[in-house]
């Protein structure tokens, strides 16, 4: 499982969140979009898209600034993440399946969300969340 902490200067509460989101989005658009990473244990290839990056950056999170900074290391983090579960789209769209992978952010569970688009036969990086909806919590 991946564990990550940041220096206070990188994720300070005084740092403007809007500026950080723009900086991370610009970095990701230049360094991640169109790239893929292969997850050996799951036998899947994950692609990074602008939509997934934008979703991940705007997603609420208990450690939002740290979660956003994590995107700069997402290629390394995602291959070390622990698979938790896959589930169908909650809205009932049969074209999507979501895959959840556990990481630790400040010694607390967070989850990388991958979105499988069946029609296109591809899996994209979709988000980072601090809890899975309807999940009963730690076991």
pTM summary value? 0.85
Question: Cα-Cα-Cα-Cα dihedral of 71, 108, 88, 72, to 10°?
Answer: 0
pLDDT beyond 80 at 12:
no
**139 falls in which pLDDT band (50, 70, 90)?**
very low
Which residues does 88 contact at the CB level (< 8 Å), separation at least 6?
94, 96, 97, 98
Neighbours of 56 (CB within 10 A): 25
Which residue pairs from 34-40 have beta carbons closer than 8 angstroms and sit at least 24 positions apart in sequence?
35/75, 37/75, 37/78, 37/79, 38/79, 39/78, 39/79, 40/79
Please tell me the distance from the alpha carbon of residue 51 to that of residue 47, in angstroms, as a whole number: 11
- The tens digit of pLDDT for each residue in 91-125 reads 888 999 999 999 999 889 999 999 999 999 999 99
DSSP 73: G
Name residue 116's beta-bridge partners.
Answer: 97, 123
- The tens digit of pLDDT for each residue in 28-41 reads 999 999 999 999 98
Answer yes or no: are the C-beta atoms of 73 and 6 closer than 8 Å: no
């Amino acid at each position: 499982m991946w564990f990550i902490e940041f220096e206070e200067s990188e994720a300070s509460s005084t740092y403007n969140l809007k500026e950080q989101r723009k900086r991370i989005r610009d970095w990701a658009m230049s360094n991640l979009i169109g790239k893929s990473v292969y997850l050996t244990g799951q036998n899947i290839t994950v692609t990074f898209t602008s939509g997934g990056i934008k979703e991940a950056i705007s997603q609420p999170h208990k450690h939002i600034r740290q979660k956003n900074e994590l995107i700069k290391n997402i290629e390394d983090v995602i291959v070390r993440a622990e698979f938790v579960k896959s589930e169908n789209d909650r809205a009932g769209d049969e074209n999507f399946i979501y895959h959840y992978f556990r990481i630790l952010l400040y010694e607390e569970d967070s989850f990388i969300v991958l979105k499988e688009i069946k029609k296109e036969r591809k899996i994209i990086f979709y988000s980072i969340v601090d809890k899975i909806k309807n999940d009963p919590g730690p076991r």
